[in-house]
Copies of this chain bind each other. A is one copy, B any other.
Amino acid sequence: MEKLVIVKVGGAVLEDPVTLNDFLCHFAAIPGKKILIHGGGRAATQISTQLGIETHIVEGRRITDAETIKVVTMVYGGLINKNTVAVLQSKGCNALGLTGVDMNLISAVKRPVGEIDYGLVGDITSINTFALSLLLQAGFVPVIAPITHDNHGQLLNTNADTIASSIAVALTNVFSVSLVYCFEKAGVLADPDDDGSVIAAMSLQMYQDNKQMGTIHSGMIPKLDNSFKALEMGVEEVIITNAGTLNTSKGTHLSL
């Protein structure tokens, strides 16, 4: 099967224009078919503050009320998405920016209210692989903002890591998929305070042992859970690496 590279880039990378430009140079240079999924992060918080909307974060997740979904739609789906596409186009990469509502790419249901009411947050129910395949086969590069919809007119805020792994898994029917998580660290670190302590290769067993010993940084756990789940569901390889070293052999390579 033909190779497809799916890259997810985190919020912190998007905030510095130089780092972002550097990252997009690397991304544009990836040969063949590829998809970029971006987070949003602090830009939404900043614009919310300017608009006088309070931001509520519980356990690292944004509580998305009616005003916040508007801001997220503007910032993720508009500002970040279109500027990313503009930079990629200037580098000869024929990108197009989308959210999960466009072409009905990503359907979701509003997360049921449990101990925490996350508000207008979506849990993914399906990926439109036909639409993504069509764009990829025609030579376009989808750039996806972390917004989904409920098929009844409501946009929903959705975790970008989860979108990346869901798309990766869905496209294993059509492509041999590599999933790359890019962020501000050099990879999965044995010592969170030492950027030189990158674990070059990590098996599922090694991850489970480390998780039990408590040596894996808490913020890494959802990312790694997502990654191993993707491997179990047919994704060829998952790499967690620094945004500046995309397209090299650096970072943490995961295997079952």
Contacts and interface: CB of A to CB of B under 8 A. Distances in A.
Interface of A: 47, 50-52, 70, 73-79, 81-83, 85-87, 89-90, 94-99, 101-104, 131, 134, 138, 140, 147, 149, 151-155
A75 B138 CA distance: 29
Contact of A51 (B51, B86, B149): B51
9 contacts: A77-B79, A78-B78, A87-B153, A89-B101, A94-B103, A94-B104, A95-B102, A96-B103, A97-B98
A101 B85 contact: yes
A104 B77 CA distance: 17
A85 B140 CA distance: 20
Contacts of A103: 94-96, 140
Contacts of A149: 86, 89
Contacts of A73: 78-79, 82-83
Contacts of A138: 134
A82 B94 contact: no
A78 B147 CA distance: 11
A-B CB proximity, top 7 nearest: A78-B78, A74-B74, A96-B102, A90-B153, A74-B78, A77-B78, A96-B103
Q: Residue among A52, A73, A78, A152 with the most chain B CB within 10 A?
A: A78
Given A90-B151, A131-B140, 17 more contacts: A47-B51, A51-B51, A76-B78, A78-B78, A78-B79, A85-B101, A85-B102, A87-B153, A89-B104, A89-B149, A94-B103, A94-B104, A95-B102, A97-B98, A98-B102, A103-B140, A134-B134
Q: Residue among A52, A75, A79, A131 with the most chain B CB within 10 A?
A: A79
Given A104-B94, A155-B86, A70 B77 contact: no
A109 to B, nearest CB: 14
B78 A101 contact: no
A82 B97 contact: no
B101 A98 contact: no
A89 B103 CA distance: 8
Contacts of A82: 73, 77-78, 99, 101-102, 147, 155
